[in-house]
A and B are shown apart, each in its own frame.
Chain A
Amino acid sequence: MLSSLRSMWLTFLHLFQKNITIEYPEEKSVLPPRYRGRIVLTRDPDKEERCVGCYLCAVACPVDCISLQATEDEHGRRYPEFFRINFSRCIFCGYCEEACPTYAIQLIPDVEMSEYDRQNMVYEKEDLTIDGQGKYHGYNFYREAGLAIKGKEKGSGHNEEPPVDIKSLIP
């Protein structure tokens, strides 16, 4: 008897506390920048596609909802020919972002992606790619890698010596 009264009293007190629910969608909630929402593909500081088609996000994904095909431009730069995420399967675990060695794939604090038709939950590269660098600024994988691409010859990457002259006899 006493405990019932106590519960009613506590519930009554809540009437005078501040609301934590909001009038969504009229009013939007503020999500922290590291919130794991919609997935995007970002660009490097030179505005080029960051994704190098390494398949690591795809293999990390526990529900296998990422598929892609890597290809190369004529100068040897790798990029995805297609890149598809089936958001109707995605569980927003963020493993892909963690696996990505280039900061290409990022989860952003946007959760408004409901659709009437499930087919519309399938996003292709065009739907995923954004124009900016997302959360991580300044990183350009190809500057660090040893691979030569257009505009970066062998030995001109970050922290690299010029290519060895193999005909040199200097000890």
Chain B
Amino acid sequence: MATITVDGRNFDVGSDKNLLETLLWLGFDLPYFCWHPSLGSVGSCRQCAVKKIQGENGDRSQLVMACMEPTIDGMEVSIQDKQASEFRANVIEWLMLNHPHDCPVCDEGGECHLQDMTVMTGHAYRRSRFKKRTHLNQDLGPCINHEMNRCIQCYRCVRFYNDYAGGDDLQVFSAHDNVYFGRHQDGTLESEFSGNLVEVCPTGVFTDKTLKSHYTRKWDLTSAPSVCHHCSLGCNILAGERYGSLRRILNRYNPEVNGYFICDRGRFGYDFVNAEDRILVPRERDRSEVILESSPIIASLKTALASGEVKGVGSPRASLESNFALRELVGSDNFYNGMSGGESELVQLALDFLSNGPVKSTSLTEIEHCDAVIVIGEDLTNTAPMMDLALNQSVRVQPLEQLGQVGIPEWNDAAAREYLQNQKGPLYLLMPQPSKLSRIATKSFRRGIPELIRLLSEITGLLDPSNGPTKVQQPASGSPNAAREADETVKEIAAALATAKRPLVIAGTSMGSLPLMQAAINIAIALHRKNENTRVSFVFPECNTAGAAMMEEKSLPAGQLSGTAPHTLIVLENDLYRRGTPNQIDEFINRFKQVLVLDHSETPTTARADLVLASGTFAEADGSLVNHEGRVQRFIQVQAADELVLESWRWILKLGKLVDNQKLTAYSEFDHLVDAIEQGCVQFAGIARTSLPADYRVHGQRLTRAPHRYSGRTSMFANHSVSEPRPPQDQDSPFSFTMEGHPGIPPESATSHYWSPGWNSVQSITKFRSEISRGRQQSDPGVRLIEPSGKAYLEYLKLAQTHDHQWQLVPLHHIFGSEEMSIKSPAIAARSPEPKITLNSAQAEEHGIKAGSTLAIIIDDQETALPVQLDADWPTDHIGITAGLPGLPYMEGNSIVQLKPPGNEN
């Protein structure tokens, strides 16, 4: 604790922050540019000057940069001091000398930190009569727009992009007042986190190109707190709507999950909501007008339900509430979690270990504090992008410990990086495919899956010699050199993990290999015996994989259906053709007399449906998701949906009424479902705490989705009718769809936009959060449903056999494309890769396969042909195939892959 005096008033503050952050948290308005809560201080913009009062009568007072000053007990500073204020006004005036007259056509306008700071210092008129410097712009790809004239040389962009996110294709060029921030040549920014430049850059140099295509000012966006639906991490987002279409995604700060950043898939993947293939009206076979009450399909559904002949397939990409409602409708015996058998088995194992084993799962931000990490079979950059960013921070944990000795505080970013240079803590990657993380990894150890399993068992044995798993039987493969290297690596990894304070094991489902996950679990068990602070993290394929798996164990039935002859199939937001080969799925669907599908976008499955009900996307629905760590988080509806588009759970409630389902008729609102889940499913106890109930009010008022400066209300629909329609009502959340409601700062979990008086940009988040923390409410980072009980997993797992197909399939996931929905967004599609097959160079030569040639293969019973890429480090007998992109065959870890003999093509 420290006591400081600011402009004559005393404050008790913490001493771990720099002075600027302390002053902002105290609520003072002090302009700044180069400091960022996550990036720390470098003191380069000279904007945050304050007077530090020293000496008798202040005669030794000096101007200091607040961001470079530690907060020291007894210090006295003045913000209002004349010299300090003039200094700050001068700095702004210099920054604005060359600033273009762009605000009206600048996408940053209205949420521009530079505008805010200029107003704050009082600089209003350009006095300079000299000409303005100009710069040429670059084409930085489909996501980011570049307008270099607006730069104020704060260096935040390159500090985020290179230092924080590990990118290397955004640099600063040229010299003196000509410095230029861009790429060495035009081209798409390669980093998976480039979208954060939009928020990090305090000016309009880097702006969101997808927003530009349907540009709306911040004050016109109807926004709600939401959760990203594009991978299992569940980053928190703010989604904004105008004129009925979704316009952009911003980061929403969550101290336990994504902090200040999100990945590009999450930021630019939203356009599927506006896509052509949205289902906006229900349709029955060929008729587009559906009257459920008189539909023969519903009539026969009713009889089928009575005799238990209805099967319901849930979905790992649908909300918990929708899955739950469907389970209530068809009964839990007839409900399936909607995953393929192989995937479900892996997920169940992971969840079982997390809840019954001894080791705790990490939150995303906790990863940033782990000091030794082993990543097993998971290409994180592509399957859980924000974990890549977190690991970029965790490799600094060990080196950062030295800072204490030399007296450099951690927030002093320039000094810390200078002192530590390129030192990195231990990060080991064990997987067959190359990974972008190898840039920062201590070692990227690329081996085939059987060999990896063997090495992992050895590591487990080294960590816990007394009770290690059975010694490995297979002999090491390959040359003696490779064997020696493997041996050394195993020892190195074991030593690094054993000596770490907070070791972390990351594994996942993307390789589809059960023994690999078991081997990872064994390492976690062994480590935990040594060190209680051991953590584990599993990556799942979809946004609610964990939730669906916790709701129901039964996966999509591959073989015979149990019970009576099936009659009706109800599929919830699930494209079954992504869960099995076309033959398997056809066979499954063909067993039913009628098929009912609820979804928001057209899929091959909706094409097979007799009745399609138009569901809302995340933007048009309320719901909860369980992320990879077992944290349940609520997402709130952003925009009012078309009349015939309902949340899936609401459709199911409707069906429930039509078929007189006792349970479902009792529910009519979202909160009823949440309460039913809370009471009916022990595994979800606590879910009711994730969000405010629909009747929550502040001083009798709702919270607002629209900002208080929302414009055009009496005109936006006037072309249809000059009489304004009644605003849509929301029964499911405490938010109004308009600006009517509580004008003050809402509880942090219910933030629909960041704003604080005088601070219109996203930088207001610092002010905003400080006001919250001084007020009533701490943040609500969602509720963790899973804590390790330590009851089971006292013994090591016996590893399952790896399959012995000729080729081991390695699905190659890609951040841009492998996720079902985000690929429908043009910006993501433009960054998606060309599908390819990867083989070991030497082995390919044996088979006479050349790089670049097209190779025909058969995966289970599906034929496909893709261009070949060769890789000398690729493990033999492994075949890498791009996964998940539209048009690619279905595959899973133990699919049987055959090369089609050449010459057989017809």
Residues of chain A having any CB pair with chain B under 8 Å? 52-56, 58-59, 61, 63-72, 78, 84-86, 88-89, 101-102, 118-119, 121-122, 124, 141, 144-148, 154-155, 157, 159-164, 166-169, 171
Q: Which residue of B lies closest to A82 (CB)?
A: B719
17 A-B pairs, CB-CB below 8 angstroms? A54-B104, A58-B220, A59-B110, A64-B713, A66-B712, A67-B718, A69-B215, A84-B718, A84-B719, A86-B718, A88-B722, A119-B721, A145-B102, A155-B134, A157-B134, A159-B131, A168-B178
Please pick, from A85, A101, A146, the residue contacting B715 in the complex, using a CB distance under 8 A: A85
Q: Is B28 an interface residue (CB 8 A)?
A: no
Q: A59-B219, A67-B712, A118-B722 are in contact. Are A163 and B150 (CB under 8 A)?
A: no
Q: Bound state CA distance, A130 and B216, in angstroms?
A: 25
Q: B109: which A residues are within 8 A, CB to CB?
A: 54
Q: Is B212 an interface residue (CB 8 A)?
A: yes
B160-183: CB near A (< 8 Å → 1, else 0) gives: 000000000000011110101000
Q: Is B805 an interface residue (CB 8 A)?
A: no
Q: A144: which B residues are within 8 A, CB to CB?
A: 101
- Across the A-B interface, how many residue pairs have beta carbons closer than 8 Å? 136
Chain B residues 690-722 with CB under 8 Å of chain A are: 709-716, 718-719, 721-722
Q: Bound state CA distance, A119 and B74, in angstroms?
A: 68
Q: Which residue of A lies closest to B106 (CB)?
A: A147
Listed from nearest, the 5 A-B pairs whose CB atoms lie closest are A146-B100, A67-B712, A54-B104, A166-B174, A58-B711
Q: Bound state CA distance, A141 and B102, in angstroms?
A: 9
Please pick, from B133, B136, B243, B712, the residue contacting A64 in the complex, using a CB distance under 8 A: B712
Of A85, A86, A144, A163, most buried by chain B (CB within 10 Å of CB) is A86
Asked if B714 and A122 sit within 8 Å, CB to CB, the answer is no
Q: Which residue of A lies closest to B136 (CB)?
A: A163
- In the complex, besides A59-B711, A86-B715, A164-B178, 7 extra interface pairs with C-beta distance below 8 angstroms are A64-B711, A64-B713, A69-B214, A69-B243, A147-B105, A163-B135, A166-B135
Q: Tell me how far the C-beta of A100 lies from the nearest C-beta in chain B, rounded to whole angstroms.
A: 9
Q: Tell me how far the C-beta of A168 lies from the nearest C-beta in chain B, rounded to whole angstroms.
A: 7
Asked if B133 and A164 sit within 8 Å, CB to CB, the answer is yes
Q: B133: which A residues are within 8 A, CB to CB?
A: 161, 164
Asked if A146 and B150 sit within 8 Å, CB to CB, the answer is yes
Please pick, from B104, B136, B216, the residue contacting A154 in the complex, using a CB distance under 8 A: B136
Asked if B174 and A101 sit within 8 Å, CB to CB, the answer is no
Asked if B134 and A161 sit within 8 Å, CB to CB, the answer is yes
Q: Tell me how far the C-beta of A111 lies from the nearest C-beta in chain B, rounded to whole angstroms.
A: 20
Please pick, from A154, A163, A171, the residue contacting B176 in the complex, using a CB distance under 8 A: A171
Asked if A154 and B713 sit within 8 Å, CB to CB, the answer is no
Chain B residues 711-735 with CB under 8 Å of chain A are: 711-716, 718-719, 721-723
Q: B491: which A residues are within 8 A, CB to CB?
A: none
Q: Is B484 an interface residue (CB 8 A)?
A: no
Q: Which residue of B lies closest to A170 (CB)?
A: B175
Q: A162: which B residues are within 8 A, CB to CB?
A: 134
Q: A124: which B residues are within 8 A, CB to CB?
A: 719
Asked if A163 and B178 sit within 8 Å, CB to CB, the answer is no
Q: Is B553 an interface residue (CB 8 A)?
A: no
Asked if B217 and A59 sit within 8 Å, CB to CB, the answer is yes
Q: A147: which B residues are within 8 A, CB to CB?
A: 100, 102, 105, 147
Asked if A67 and B711 sit within 8 Å, CB to CB, the answer is yes
Q: Is B774 an interface residue (CB 8 A)?
A: no
Asked if A159 and B132 sit within 8 Å, CB to CB, the answer is yes
Q: How many residues of B contact A (CB 8 A)?
A: 45
Q: Bound state CA distance, A88 and B212, in angstroms?
A: 31
Q: Tell me how far the C-beta of B185 lies from the nearest C-beta in chain A, rounded to whole angstroms.
A: 12
B121-152: CB near A (< 8 Å → 1, else 0) gives: 00000000001111111000000000101100
Q: B792: which A residues are within 8 A, CB to CB?
A: none
Q: Tell me how far the C-beta of A57 lies from the nearest C-beta in chain B, rounded to whole angstroms.
A: 9
Q: Bound state CA distance, A70 and B217, in angstroms?
A: 10
Q: Tell me how far the C-beta of A99 lies from the nearest C-beta in chain B, rounded to whole angstroms.
A: 10
Please pick, from A56, A161, A168, the residue contacting B132 in the complex, using a CB distance under 8 A: A161
Q: Tell me how far the C-beta of A71 lies from the nearest C-beta in chain B, rounded to whole angstroms.
A: 8
Q: A166: which B residues are within 8 A, CB to CB?
A: 135, 173-174, 178, 180
Q: A52: which B residues are within 8 A, CB to CB?
A: 104-105
Chain B residues 87-122 with CB under 8 Å of chain A are: 100-105, 109-110
Asked if A89 and B137 sit within 8 Å, CB to CB, the answer is no
Q: Bound state CA distance, A101 and B664, in angstroms?
A: 56
Q: Tell me how far the C-beta of B213 lies from the nearest C-beta in chain A, rounded to whole angstroms.
A: 8
Chain B residues 175-222 with CB under 8 Å of chain A are: 175-176, 178, 180, 212, 214-217, 219-220
Q: Tell me how far the C-beta of A63 lies from the nearest C-beta in chain B, rounded to whole angstroms.
A: 6
Q: Tell me how far the C-beta of A77 lies from the nearest C-beta in chain B, rounded to whole angstroms.
A: 9
Q: Bound state CA distance, A102 and B103, in angstroms?
A: 11
Q: B103: which A residues are within 8 A, CB to CB?
A: 54, 101
Please pick, from A56, A86, A118, the residue contacting B714 in the complex, using a CB distance under 8 A: A86
Please pick, from B105, B217, B723, the residue contacting A145 in the complex, using a CB distance under 8 A: B105
Q: A55: which B residues are within 8 A, CB to CB?
A: 110, 216-217, 219-220, 711
Q: Which residue of A lies closest to B176 (CB)?
A: A171
Asked if B722 and A121 sit within 8 Å, CB to CB, the answer is yes
Q: B132: which A residues are within 8 A, CB to CB?
A: 146, 159-161
Q: B105: which A residues are within 8 A, CB to CB?
A: 52-54, 78, 145, 147
Q: A146: which B residues are within 8 A, CB to CB?
A: 100-102, 132, 134, 147, 149-150
Q: Tell me how far the C-beta of B106 lies from the nearest C-beta in chain A, rounded to whole angstroms.
A: 8
Q: Bound state CA distance, A61 and B714, in angstroms?
A: 10
Q: Which residue of B lies closest to A72 (CB)?
A: B212
Q: B104: which A residues are within 8 A, CB to CB?
A: 52, 54, 56, 101-102, 141, 145
Please pick, from B134, B215, B220, the residue contacting A164 in the complex, using a CB distance under 8 A: B134
Q: A118: which B residues are within 8 A, CB to CB?
A: 722-723
Q: Bound state CA distance, A52 and B101, in angstroms?
A: 13
Q: Which residue of B lies closest to A121 (CB)?
A: B722
Q: Bound state CA distance, A65 and B716, in angstroms?
A: 8
Please pick, from B134, B709, B722, B723, the residue contacting A163 in the complex, using a CB distance under 8 A: B134
B321-350: CB near A (< 8 Å → 1, else 0) gives: 000000000000000000000000000000
Q: Bound state CA distance, A68 and B149, in angstroms?
A: 27
Q: Tell me how far the C-beta of A155 lies from the nearest C-beta in chain B, rounded to whole angstroms.
A: 4
Q: A72: which B residues are within 8 A, CB to CB?
A: 212
